[in-house]
Each structure stands twice: as C-alpha cells, then as structure tokens.
Amino acid sequence: MNTFSFVIHPLELKRDAARYKPILGIFPEPVIEQIALRMGPKTISQIKGITSKTGAQCEGFFVGCPLGTRQLLNLPHEVIYKKLVDAGKYSADLGAKIMGLGAFTSVAGDAGVTVAQRLEGIIGVTSGNSYTVYSAIQALLLGAQKMEIEARSATVAIVGATGSIGAVSAKILASQVGEIILLGRDMAKLEKLKVEVEAQSDCSAQIRVSTDIRAALREAELVLTVSSAGKELIFPEDLKVGAVICDVARPRDVSKAVVEKRDDVLVIEGGVITVPGEDVQFNFEFGFPRSTAFACMSETMLMALEGTNQNYTLGRDLSVEQVKRIGEIAKKHGFELAGFRSFEIAVTDEHIEQVRQNARRKRALVTA
C-alpha cells in the first residue's frame, strides 16, 4: 500500500501551543516562537481507510511542522526550508513516498521548489494547489447554477488574481464566463496576467483589471477569492445582491459579518472534498465532517493512489494542463465535491433556496 504525508502547522501559534500544553499559554508569542524553532517534525496522526473506486488503497500521516503562520511568512527562507526538508526526511522514514505541503508551508519561500530539490530521491513533494483550483472552480460554477446565475454571461471577480491559484483559475474560467475582473495590488502584474489570459485560444470572456477590490466586487455576480493576505478583505457592504462568493483563502478573505448581515449572498468554501472509502479515518480534528478533506490534502492522496513519488504542483506558476489532469485523476479514483460549507457549517439546498428568495426580494425593492 502506498503511503503519503501531509505537513500541517499551527495557524495561530500561541493558541495552538496552549491547546497542546496549557502551560505555554502564559508565555508571550515571541517566546513560543523561539521554542518552536528548536522543535523538529512530529507525527500528529495516522490516516487510514482511503479506498479508490478502482480498488487501490493508500494510507498516510499528518506530520506537524512547529512553525506558526507569522514565522512561515517572515523567517529567512533558509530557516523554513530546513524545517520542511526535515519534515520530508521524517516522512520518508515513516514510509511516505509523497509529501503534501499544507496551509502556509505551501506558499513559504518559493512555494516548494527548493524543498523538492533538496528532497530529490528521498520523497516527492506537492503543494496540492492544482486540485484546489479544480475543485474551487467546480464549487463556484455549481454555486452559480444553484443561485440561478448564468455563468456564460456573468461577471467573475478574482481576488488575489496574480497568485498561482488566481492566475490559473482566470485562464480556466476565461472560456466559461462572460467577464473576468482580475484584482490585486500590483497593476503591472495584473496587466501582464490580462495579456496571458487573453492570449489563450479559447478565451471568450472580456478581461479587466483593477486594484480597487471593493468597487469591483459590487459589479460581480461571482467572486473567487484566493489571496494570501492573511486577513479579511471582503465585507458585507462590498457585494452585489445575489452574489456567490467562493473563498479558498486560509485564513479566510471573507469576513464572517458577510454571512451574518447579508442573507442575500451565498458564501461557500472552496476545496472541500469527499474522500472515498467506507471507513476513512484522519484521527485528527480539523473542523470537517467524517471522510471530507481539503483539496490540497486530497491531491496528496491522489498521488499516493497513483503510486507516484514524483513532484506534482510546485512553485507559483500552475499550468492549466496540471489542473485538468488532476481533475481527471480525481474522477478516476472517486474524489468529488463534498457539497458546500461555510464557516464550518454545511450549506443545505434549503439554505440556498432561502438566499435565492432573499436576493429576489432585494432586487425587486431596488427596481420598484
């Protein structure tokens, strides 16, 4: 049976450290960060029961990297690379052939390229971003369908468009929607991406660029938000009536106030996948129902089911071909969207119907 590992880390170091050892809660975060720097990787849990519809099976491990989000974004790259290479060697000792980079380990430094080079011949590496893109686009378009939005004529705003996930999402969506607004902070990068998207032979959408996120969001029926800002970017007053927002970012780009104050918009999380198998056991609580996982985790599982120890998604330049290929591999093994979730709560068809009705009422008031 093929084995994988998936690297996780504390999103909020002091909070998560105190859960592990309550005594750590009395220390200031800089002290805990120094402790974390001296720690090595460790096994968080063993993952069992993953069974493809082809009959293939795999098992894996969640491997903990002790660095917090702030450290992964701000420490010298060499410090981070050493921690992740250590995690890769540790994973290989557990029997893993492929290692997935979770949360901010996938964007630190050069997004896995150097780590993979230093682990060549030891273990394969993937960020999981190809399947994250594939499943997020699936979720956004399904959300549009359920909200009775015609995607072919809709305006899609992509927040964080110049990042690896945003850029390839734009290229794929360009043949499926009416208009795309590429949103980011660097106008030169946005203009460069616009040229790349428009150069595709199947691009049928009108492409625009903007650094004014809030103004652009008010024009969009569909929003795909994939920034690495690490803070809330989207607020209740920013959104068009009846919009669908698919939030792939972690930490979230969408403020919880949106679901609390805007009963006429549908907020869903991208990249939530049903993992096949009668008794899938993660043995670790990360806020999802049984047998469901993030798409980035699922990509690592798919590589294990394929029996490969080759690198897959690395760096900041994802290709359309990579994304489409992982989608086909997912279909082959029976991985699929796990319905919709929003802020750890399942989004039912009844809830979507209520949102749709609320949007109709608000539109009627505007036109009355």
Q: What is the pLDDT of residues 215-264, one digit of tens each?
A: 999 999 999 999 978 789 999 999 999 999 999 987 799 999 999 999 99
Backbone angles phi, psi at 271, to 5 degrees: 75, 35
User: Do 8 and 102 reside in the same domain of the chain?
Assistant: yes
Among 6, 2, 1, smallest CA distance to 283 is for 6
User: Do 10 and 123 reside in the same domain of the chain?
Assistant: yes
User: Do 59 and 180 reside in the same domain of the chain?
Assistant: no
Residue 327 inside a domain? The answer is no
pLDDT digit string, tens, across residues 275-312? 999 999 999 998 888 899 999 999 999 999 999 999 99
Among 129, 58, 63, smallest CA distance to 281 is for 58
User: Do 238 and 345 reside in the same domain of the chain?
Assistant: yes
The domain spanning residue 150 has which CATH number? 3.40.50.720
User: Do 205 and 354 reside in the same domain of the chain?
Assistant: yes
Helix (H, G, I), strand (E, B) or coil at 93: helix
Residue 303 inside a domain? The answer is yes
Residue 232 is inside which H or E element, if any?
Answer: none
The amino acid at residue 214 is R
Residue 351 inside a domain? The answer is yes
User: Do 350 and 206 reside in the same domain of the chain?
Assistant: yes
What averages of pLDDT result for each successive group of 10 residues across the chain (368 residues)? Answer: 97 90 91 96 98 98 96 96 99 98 93 98 97 96 97 98 95 98 98 98 97 98 92 96 94 94 95 94 90 96 97 94 97 95 90 97 83
User: Do 121 and 141 reside in the same domain of the chain?
Assistant: no
Number of domains, the chain: 2
User: Do 138 and 193 reside in the same domain of the chain?
Assistant: yes
Residue 282 inside a domain? The answer is yes
Reported pTM: 0.93
Residue 139 inside a domain? The answer is yes
Domain holding 71, by residue range, is 2-128+276-315
Residue 81 inside a domain? The answer is yes
Residue 321 inside a domain? The answer is no
User: Do 231 and 353 reside in the same domain of the chain?
Assistant: yes
Residue 235 inside a domain? The answer is yes
Per-residue pLDDT, 368: 60
User: Do 43 and 189 reside in the same domain of the chain?
Assistant: no
User: Do 285 and 357 reside in the same domain of the chain?
Assistant: no
Rounded Cα–Cα distance for residues 280 and 46 (Å): 11
User: Do 191 and 235 reside in the same domain of the chain?
Assistant: yes
